[in-house]
Amino acid sequence: MRIRVLGCSGGIGGGLRTTSMLVDEDVLIDAGTGVGDLTLESLAKIDHIFVSHSHLDHVTSIPFLVDTVCWMRASPIVVYGIKETLDILRAHLFNWKIWPDFTQIPDGDHPFMVYREIRVGETVEIRGRRFTPIPANHTVPAVGYVLETAKAALIYSGDTSVNDALWKVVNRTPNLKYLIIETAFSNKERDIATASKHLCPDMLAEELEKMRVSPEVFITHLKPGEGALTMKEVGKAAGRWRPRMLENNQEFSL
């Protein structure tokens, strides 16, 4: 399994892209603005999209992707998410008002897009690759994901605040090689982080104290203009875990 970061920022501007990861050629984990950098040929190869939650920075490219490549495909794009997330997409995005409902185009029997409801802890296996939603603690119903092969695993926290359930999964995941965890705000904005259910560096350090394994740790979802400050604070508060900033186009192999 090869994982390429298409976007990992908490915003846009100056080349920044919001959250999305491409797994091999056919799977997306979230679908932020970075998806738009792919070639038309690459877009047409995407068969599966696993959504962490319904916020726009994680789903904004789904409507454009489906609209762009639907004519080029023989099968529908499958969008996976927990029930609450899929219900929000149905009601507020693919609702004929914001965007057409591609689960009904050309018709309900032959759609360009389908929803697949998944539950926390329920693994979806696609050609030997396993994708398992795990608990997140955010302002809307949300999950993170475990990505696994027979050799190794990567955990992506999704957008989350303090989350004991995450660490239970982290600590029991065999062969955990990478942990990608958000830290959206600097310490001076801890109140905003708490209210919006994100992490700041001091909160991240408190969370990492719950970890009993030793994966490589990467920080995602940094707010534009505060990346350097936030990573400096991450190093000060959580340096013993040697966290690094996740970067666009970074690749991981499992």
- Structural domain including 241 reads 120-246
- SS (HEC) of the chain: CEEEEEECECCCECCECECEEEECCCEEECCCHHHHHCCHHHHHCCCEEECCCCCHHHHCHHHHHHHHHHHHCCCCEEEEECHHHHHHHHHHCCCCCCCCCCCCCEECCEECEEEEECCCCCCEEECCEEEEEEECCCCCCCEEEEEECCCCEEEECCCCCCCHHHHHHHHHCCCEEEEEEECCCCHHHHHHHHHHCCCCHHHHHHHHCCCCCCCEEEEECECCCCHHHHHHHHHHHHHHHCCEECCCCCEEEC
CATH number at residue 187: 3.60.15.10
Q: Which of 123, 215, 207 is nearest to 174 (CA)?
A: 215
129 and 111 co-located in one domain: no
* 252 within a domain of the structure (yes/no): no
With 0.75 as the threshold, say if the pTM is over it: yes
**Closest Cα to residue 188, out of 201, 207, 204?**
201
Residues 147 and 92 grouped into a single domain: no
* Same domain as 203, residue 167: yes
Domain boundary among 97, 117, 137: 117
**pLDDT for the residue numbered 227:** 95
* Spatial CB neighbours of 97, under 8 Å, sequence gap ≥ 6: none
Q: What does the pLDDT read at residue 206?
A: 98
| Residues 195 and 162 grouped into a single domain | yes
pLDDT at position 152 is: 98
Q: pLDDT digits over 67-101, tens only? A: 999 999 999 999 999 999 999 999 999 999 999 99
**pLDDT per position as a tens digit, 175-211:** 999 999 999 999 999 999 999 999 999 999 999 999 9
Q: Examine residue 254 and state whether it is found in any structural domain, yes or no.
A: no
Let me know whether 103 and 220 are in one domain: no
Q: Are residues 161 and 210 in the same domain?
A: yes
Distance from C-alpha of 113 to C-alpha of 62, rounded to nearest angstrom: 10
* pLDDT of res. 209: 98
Residue 203 has a pLDDT of 98
User: What pLDDT, on a 0 to 100 scale, did the predictor assign at position 175?
Assistant: 95
Give percent of the chain above pLDDT 90: 100
